[in-house]
Amino acid sequence: MTALAPTLQAFFTDRLINQRHASEHTIAAYRDTLRLLLRFAAERSGKPPSGLDIEDLSAPLIGAFLDHLEHERGNSARTRNARLAAIRSLFRYAALRHPEHAATIQRVLSIPPKRFDRALVSFLTETELDALLGAPDRTTWTGRRDHALILLAAQTGLRASELVGLRRSDIKLGRGAHVSCLGKGRKHRITPLTTTTIAILRAWLGERGGQPADPLFPARTGTTLSRDALEHRLAKHAAAAATRCPSLHDKRVTAHVLRHTAAMRLLHAGVDTSVIALWLGHEQAETTQIYLHADLALKEQALAKTKPPDAKPGRYQPPTRCSRSSKRCDYADLRAAITAPTGRSRPQVGITRTSA
């Protein structure tokens, strides 16, 4: 038996489950990463997965595996880095159990994560959100469910996993109405609800019925709504809303976009970023800085404060037509000079020639 097989088993049963008490999502992500790695290593080395050893998972092979993820499987740099993090976690655990492979392990651990471009967050304006909320057919059961779900997501900023994991008992509509959820990192948090959201949820709970442990937004069969089904419903309603609000054609509406929308609405209302971080359940308050970068209105206000006292308000707009006081447009003169026939030599601007 090679050293890799018992190390892999102990990594899941001892390290992740017993020591770290990792969530099922973390365990599934690590499992998928190592499954892909073993399959790639078996094809490269010609050995069965049960015959692979730690030495077979060398740094060059890990680098080739990461390139394979990007170029052949079409994964993004973020996914590549997530796979690398799982591999490094395994090798850090193996370093304590197999010091005889310290050189190979150290070279793998020295592989750096890949840098990537950070795009501005996408969010919905008030007009776009109103169009999306009006898209579900509220004469049907699924339409009323989707309307309540979208409204709750846009007001609370819950993650997709938190939305589909909500139970009827997680909604409190009495005094101090709020929704409670178990979020990322096993953190419990509560989020207050607005009057409009309370009214919609009260009507939905009355229609939904069921036991306190039942899903708040179930599928037609009564089971928990899957994340894929949630994204499918949002895409369907976004396509319908785009007929009323054409700007939605250029946006991909997901549950995370609704989360960004909730954060931007709080930011526009003047809420401090530290409070927004608590509202969204961020691990670090610095994570909320991405919303400051995406808020053009705040930058416009900062720009307005820097203008001279005698300047006209607003941003500079270039003229679109010639002034009435001039006979010809300066741009037209410049264009005519550029396209003029080359029958005579043109003067060279900035160069002065003197005769001897």
Q: Do 227 and 160 meet the contact criterion of CB atoms below 8 Å apart? A: yes
Q: Please indicate whether residue 293 is annotated as part of the active site.
A: no
256: annotated active-site residue? yes
Q: Is 282 a catalytic site residue?
A: yes
The answer to whether residue 312 is catalytic is: no
Q: Please indicate whether residue 71 is annotated as part of the active site.
A: no
**Of 144, 159, 237, 260, catalytic:** 159
**For the chain, what is the HEC assignment?**
CCCHHHHHHHHHHHHHHHHCCCCHHHHHHHHHHHHHHHHHHHHHHCCCHHHCCHHHCCHHHHHHHHHHHHHCCCCCHHHHHHHHHHHHHHHHHHHHHCHHHHHHHHHHHCCCCCCCCCCCCCCCCHHHHHHHHCCCCCCCHHHHHHHHHHHHHHHHCCCHHHHHCCEHHHEECCCCCEEEEECCCCCEEEEECCHHHHHHHHHHHHHHCCCCCCECCECCCCCECCHHHHHHHHHHHHHHHCCCCHHHHHCCCCHHHHHHHHHHHHHHCCCCHHHHHHHHCCCCHHHHHHHHHHCHHHHHHHHHCCCCCCCCCCCCCCCCCCCCCCCCCHHHHHHHHHCCCCCCCCCCCCCCCCCC
Annotated active-site residue in 107, 184, 227, 251 = 184
Q: Is 184 an annotated catalytic residue?
A: yes
Quick one: which of 89, 66, 65, 84 has its CA closest to 7? Answer: 89
- Active-site option among 83, 233, 259, 265: 259
Residue at token pair 């990007």: 70
Catalytically annotated residue among 15, 80, 233, 282: 282
Amino acid at 242: A
List the catalytic residues.
159, 184, 256, 259, 282, 291
